[in-house]
């Protein structure tokens, strides 16, 4: 594959993108906009240098608070580029019109085989309730940095559990339909040394007919990521960490175990973008919709 790649930002997610694109796609022209050492990749120091590269595919994986200004620059100065903005698209809702480029948002959980399987198996089913819980321990997230200095720990960098773990909001809408919020608590409750929210408890509905309970946190030292779905003649318990499903369908029980590595959903996302197959990707407008939902939650 002969394409020029630019990655803006070289934190943990930027490094992951660079590694995947080099190893699995055999791409040789990968440029990184960063202040860090990024060998073996080619380094640039400022946005204006992008003009000299003229990349085909651009990934914005900087601090969330920088996404808006960087995307605005790209939209103003380039045409017909494929741009992936890491989730969430911005730290707060901001108006921007995209006409010249194709922009997508990095909600790669849509390419998780378990999420994709759930979307397929519940199609046409009457669903009564969905319960989602996602909890992990922020100090364990990034081994190469003190968690208190990470973007997740700082409001001015676009951190917070609601923004960081917005994957759950996206895949719920992608699988089931529009979310409506009836009640939400979103603030900091733990002893973590951060100034961002570390807890969300939400009650609402999906597509105006499915009851929803959603819980997110930064402080669970026994990581958990589960989806429990109950409906007419179907019950599903999905464990995204253990990569297994327990399903009761028309009174018959069966389980399904998945085997895939952590990078699979990223690889699939990149494959779709590089091959021009935009099906199942989170579009720019869908990413903005999730951001509007986040702001509604914050106001509750």
55-75: per-residue pLDDT in tens?
Answer: 999 999 999 999 999 999 999
What is d(CA 152, CA 201) in angstroms, rounded to the nearest whole number? 18
Tens digits of residue pLDDT in 147-175: 999 999 999 999 999 999 999 999 999 99
Residue 100 has a pLDDT of 98
How far is CA 292 from each of CA 69, 88, 92, 94, 237, rounded to the nearest angstrom?
A: 19, 11, 8, 10, 29
| SS3 per residue for 45-56 | CCHHHHHHHCCC
Cα 249–254–260 angle (5° rounding)?
A: 115
Rounded distance between C-alpha atoms, residue 90 and residue 109, angstroms: 18
Write out pLDDT tens, residues 118-148: 999 999 999 999 999 999 999 999 888 899 9
Q: What was the pLDDT predicted at 109?
A: 98
- The structure's pTM equals 0.95
Dihedral through CA 73, CA 76, CA 79, CA 82, nearest 10?
30
Tell me what the mean pLDDT of segment 97-117 comes to: 98
Question: Residue 214 belongs to what H/E stretch?
Answer: strand 210-217
Type and span of the H or E element at 185: strand 179-187
Taken as a whole, the chain contains a residue count of 300
All structural domains of the chain, each given as residue ranges with its CATH number in brackets, are 4-105 (3.40.50.720), 109-258 (3.30.360.10)
pLDDT tens for each residue of 27-57: 999 999 999 999 999 999 999 999 999 999 9
Cα–Cα dist 218/215, whole Å: 11
Mean pLDDT across the chain: 96
In the sheet that holds 127-137, the strands lie side by side as 179-187, 199-206, 210-217, 127-137, 219-231, 234-239, 244-249, 252-257
Candidates 56, 48, 44; CA nearest to 5 is: 56
Mean pLDDT confidence for 11-22: 96
């Amino acid at each position: 594959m002969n394409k020029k790649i630019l990655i803006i930002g070289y934190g943990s997610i930027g490094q992951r993108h660079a590694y995947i694109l080099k190893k699995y796609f055999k791409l040789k022209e990968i440029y990184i906009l960063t202040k860090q050492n990024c060998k073996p990749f080619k380094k640039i120091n400022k946005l204006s240098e992008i003009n000299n590269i003229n990349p085909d595919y651009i990934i914005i994986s900087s601090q969330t608070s920088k996404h808006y200004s960087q995307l605005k620059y790209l939209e103003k100065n380039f045409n017909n580029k494929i741009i992936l903005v890491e989730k969430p698209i911005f730290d707060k809702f901001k108006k921007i019109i995209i006409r010249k480029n194709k922009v997508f948002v990095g909600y790669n959980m849509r390419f998780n085989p378990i999420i994709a399987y759930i979307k397929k198996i519940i199609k046409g089913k009457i669903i009564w309730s969905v319960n989602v819980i996602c909890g992990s321990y922020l100090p364990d997230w990034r081994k190469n940095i003190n968690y208190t200095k990470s973007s997740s720990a700082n409001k001015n960098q676009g951190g917070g559990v609601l923004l960081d773990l917005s994957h759950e909001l996206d895949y719920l809408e992608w699988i089931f339909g529009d979310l409506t919020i009836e009640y939400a608590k979103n603030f900091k409750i733990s002893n973590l040394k951060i100034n961002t929210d570390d807890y969300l408890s939400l009650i609402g509905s999906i597509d105006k007919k499915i009851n929803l309970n959603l819980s997110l946190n930064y402080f669970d030292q026994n990581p958990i990521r589960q989806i429990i779905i109950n409906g007419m003649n179907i019950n599903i318990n999905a464990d995204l960490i253990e990569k297994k499903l327990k399903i009761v369908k028309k009174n018959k029980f069966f389980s399904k175990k998945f085997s895939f590595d952590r990078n699979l959903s990223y690889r699939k996302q990149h494959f779709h973008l590089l091959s021009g197959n935009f099906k199942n990707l989170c579009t720019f407008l869908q990413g903005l919709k999730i951001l509007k939902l986040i702001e509604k939650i914050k106001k509750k």
